[in-house]
Structure 1
Amino acid sequence: MDIKQKPTYKTKRFWAGILLAQFLLFFLFSKVEFIVNLFVKFFEFQKSVHQKIFSLLSFSVGDILYIILGIGLLYFILKIIKKKSRNIFLLRFLILANILYFSYQLFWGMLYFQKPIIQNLPRGNITLKETQDLTLKYLTLCKQTRKLVNEDKNGVFIVTDLNKIKTEILHNQGNLPNFLGHKKAVNINAFKPSLYEGVMSYSGILGYYNPFTAEAQYNAELPSTFLPFTLAHESMHQLGFAREQEANFTGYLIGRNATNLDLKYSTEYFVLKSLLNSLVEKKPEFVKQVIQNYSSEMKRDRMAEKDFVKRHEGFLDVMFGYTNDLFLKSNQQEGSVTYSYFVDLLIRFERSVSKK
C-alpha cells in the first residue's frame, strides 16, 4: 500500500468505527427511559426553534435539503466508483453519514422509544362487538357531518379554506388531554405543500414530517377527504408524537370536536375507514353492510378516493409501501397498513369518555 494512502485508510476505519459506535450507543440509549426522556425534553426545545426559523419561508426547505442530499449521494457514488477518487470520497461519505445519523437521532429518532400512549388508557380486551358498535357510531356521525360540508360540481366533498383548518389544528393542540404528557403547542404554522406532490401521489404517501426542519409536508393533490386529517396527523409529529398510529390517535383528538366542519368530517371519515379496515378479515359481511349504508354523499367521496388511488397505482406505490413498512417495524411500530394499535387507542379512549 502506498504510504500516502495509509492515513486515509486509518481515517476511514476511524469514521466507520464511529458510525458503528453510534448504532450501538443509540440502541443502548433506547433501552434507558431516563435517557429517552432527555431526548424528549431536548425535542421540546428544538421544535419551536426549528419551526420559527423554517416557517419564515413559504416553500419546503426540507424538500430542498433532500434534493441536495440526493444529488450529493449520486455524486459520491460516482466518485467512489472511480479508483482515483475512491479513498477521499469514501471518507467524506462516512463523515457525512455520521453527521446525518447523529442529527436524525438527536432531532427525532429517539422519540420512537417514548412511553407508549396506551399505557395511560384503561386496560382490558377489545371485543369485536365493541369495535362494531363504534363503527356504527362513526357511520352515523359521518352521515350527519357530511351533510354540512361543501361539494364540488360532481357532488364530492371539497375543502373550501385550508388556512382555517391549519389555524384550528394549531389551536386545538393546546387542548389535548393531560394523559398524553407534556407536549407544548408552539402555535407556529409550519405546514408546507410538498415539492414532490406528483411523486407522492404515485407513492401512496399522504404527508411526512421532516426531522431536520420540523416542517409538516403534505400532498396538495390529495382528495379533500384525506387532506384535513393528514394535516392533523403531521402536526402531531411536529408536537412530538413519533409513532404513526399514535400520531393518528392524537390527530383524531385534534379533529373529533373541531368547529371546522371540513376537519371534523375528514377525521370522522378516517376513523370509520380505520375501524372497517380492522374488521375486514374477521367480519367481512359486516364491513360490506356498513359500506352499503353509506349516505349517497359518502359514496361519492369513496368513489373519488378510489379513482384517485387507481389513477396513481404503479411501481412506486409498491416500493414506498414496502420500504415504509420496513421503516415502521424497525422503529417498534406496526406495519404501514396495520390499524390495530390505533383502533385499540381509539376504543380505550372512547371507554374512558363514556364513563365520565
Structure 2
Amino acid sequence: MKTVGRLILSAIFLALTGVMAAAARTAPDAVFAFYPAFSRKVLAAVSSVTAVVPFCIWEVVVLLAVLWLVYTLVRVFRHHGRGILSWLSGIVLTLCVFLFAFVGVWGLNHFGPDVSQQLGLSVREYSAAELTEATRYYAQQATRLASGVRRDEKQVGQFSDFSTLAKQAGKGYETLGQEYALFTGSTDRVKKLASWKLFSHFGITGIFICVTGEACVNPDTYVAWLPFTMCHEIAHRQAVAAEDGANFCAYLACMENPDAEFQYSGALAAYIYCSNALMKADRAAATEIWNSVDPGIRADAQAANEHYAQYEGKVQDAATKVNDAYLKAFSEETGVQSYGEVADLLIAWYQQKAPRT
C-alpha cells in the first residue's frame, strides 16, 4: 500500500507540474502578471535562510542523499530484493516533488517575458555593420577599464580572492533595483562550489539551485571572468531564467558595481561575446578591433583559453549535450547557443540606452 500511495502522490505532483507549464504556455499574460515577482520573493526568503552558512547547502544534501540511496539499496539486496518497489517508488516521489518545486518556484520563468521586454529594449536582426559598431564600443569600454585592474609582468589580470568578490557581487543589482523591478530580488552573497573539480571537467562555471536559493560559482573559473560569472548566477535569482538574459543582466550589474574589477569583467565579457559573433559575420572587422584593444585584454583572453583547454574532452562534451537538452526542454530553442545570443541584447543596449563617453 505504501508503494501505491507514493505512486499516486507522484502522479499528482507530476500532473500539477504539467498544469503549471501548460498555463504558462497558453495564458502567459495572466501567469506572468504575478509569477516573476512571486518567484523573486520566494527565492529571497529561501536565500535569506540558506545564506546563514557559507557553504553550498545543496551539495551537502546531494551527498547525504547519495549515501542514503546506497545504504537503503544495500539493505534491499540483503533482504533478497524485498522492498525494491517501495525503494523505487520513494525515489520517483522525491523526483516528482523536486520537479514540482523547481517549476513552481522558478522554472516557469523560462516561458516568461524576455529581459528585453522588461527593460524596454527593442531587439531585431542586426547587420554586420551594426554588430561591428557595437563590438568596437564594448572593446573601447573594456580597454578603458583594463587599466583599473592589477596585472602581472605578462599583463594578465590579478583579481581579489573569491570571498571578497562574492561579497561585492550583489552591489550592482542593488543599484539596478532602484530603477527596474526586474532587479529587486535577493543579492545575498555568492557561494563557492566545493565540488569544483567535477564542475570544471563538466565545463560548468556556475549553477543556480532554486530550491535552496543558492547562486553557486566554480572558483576555478578564470579570474577575469569570475566577477561576471557571479553576477550571471545572481541574475538567475532575480527570476531571469534564459541564459542570454542572465548574461546581459550580468553585464549591466557589473557596470553598475562600484568595484573596478567587476566593471572590467563585465566589459570584457560584453566585448568577447560581440567579438565572437562578429568573427562569424566579418572576420576582418573582428580582427581589426582585436588588434586595437589593450594588451591586457589579449593577455586575459589567451590565459583563459589556456586555462580551459585542460578540461576539454568527452566528459565536457557530454555535459554540454545534457545542458543543451535541458535548455531546449524549457523553450530555449537554440539550446547552449543561447549563451552567445546575448550579442543581440548588447547591440540593442548600445543603440538605445548605453551612455556615450
- TM-based fold match above 0.5: yes
1:244 aligns with 2:240: no
Quick one: which of 29, 33, 41 aligns to 1:45?
Answer: 41
**Conserved in 2, the CA contact under 8 Å of 1:79 and 1:85?**
no
CA offset digits 1:154-199 (Å, max 9, x no partner): 431011255554454323213227885444244432x111011111
CA deviation after TM superposition for structure 1 residue 146, in Å: 1.3
CA deviation after TM superposition for structure 1 residue 98, in Å: 2.2
Following superposition of structure 1 onto structure 2, how do residues 272-291 of structure 1 map, counting pairs within 5 Å?
272-291=271-290
Q: Find the aligned partners of 2:146 and 2:176 in 1 and give their Cα distance.
A: 25
3-state SS, counterpart of residue 216 of structure 1: strand
CA offset digits 1:44-80 (Å, max 9, x no partner): 3222221211111111112212223344455677778
**In the alignment, which residue of structure 2 is the partner of 1:21?**
15
CA offset digits 1:286-328 (Å, max 9, x no partner): 3333333343222221221111111122222111111111111
1:335 aligns with 2:329: no
**In the alignment, which residue of structure 2 is the partner of 1:225?**
224
1:56 aligns with 2:52: yes
Letter in 2 for 1:169: A
Structure 1, gaps ≥5 residues long: 1-6
Following superposition of structure 1 onto structure 2, how do residues 58-137 of structure 1 map, counting pairs within 5 Å?
58-72=54-68, 83-119=81-117, 120-137=120-137
CA offset digits 1:180-234 (Å, max 9, x no partner): 5444244432x11101111122211111111111111111122211101001111
**Identity across matched positions, percent:** 18
Letter in 1 for 2:44: S
Letter in 1 for 2:311: H
Q: Find the aligned partners of 2:324 and 2:174 in 1 and give their Cα distance.
A: 31
CA deviation after TM superposition for structure 1 residue 20, in Å: 4.1
**Conserved in 2, the CA contact under 8 Å of 1:166 and 1:231?**
yes
**In the alignment, which residue of structure 1 is the partner of 2:253?**
254
Q: Find the aligned partners of 1:79 and 1:352 in 2 and give their Cα distance.
A: 63
TM-score when normalising by structure 2: 0.87
Q: Find the aligned partners of 1:109 and 1:83 in 2 and give their Cα distance.
A: 37
Structure 2, gaps ≥5 residues long: none
Q: Find the aligned partners of 1:130 and 1:253 in 2 and give their Cα distance.
A: 20
**In the alignment, which residue of structure 2 is the partner of 1:184?**
184
Moved more, 168-177 or 179-188: 179-188
**Conserved in 1, the CA contact under 8 Å of 2:243 and 2:339?**
no
**Conserved in 2, the CA contact under 8 Å of 1:29 and 1:36?**
no
Q: Find the aligned partners of 2:70 and 2:282 in 1 and give their Cα distance.
A: 48
Moved more, 303-312 or 140-149: 140-149
TM-score when normalising by structure 1: 0.87
Letter in 2 for 1:309: Y
**Conserved in 2, the CA contact under 8 Å of 1:278 and 1:339?**
no
CA offset digits 1:127-168 (Å, max 9, x no partner): 211111111122222222112210235431011255554454
CA deviation after TM superposition for structure 1 residue 265, in Å: 0.9
Let me know the Cα RMSD of the aligned residues: 2.7
**Conserved in 1, the CA contact under 8 Å of 2:7 and 2:92?**
no
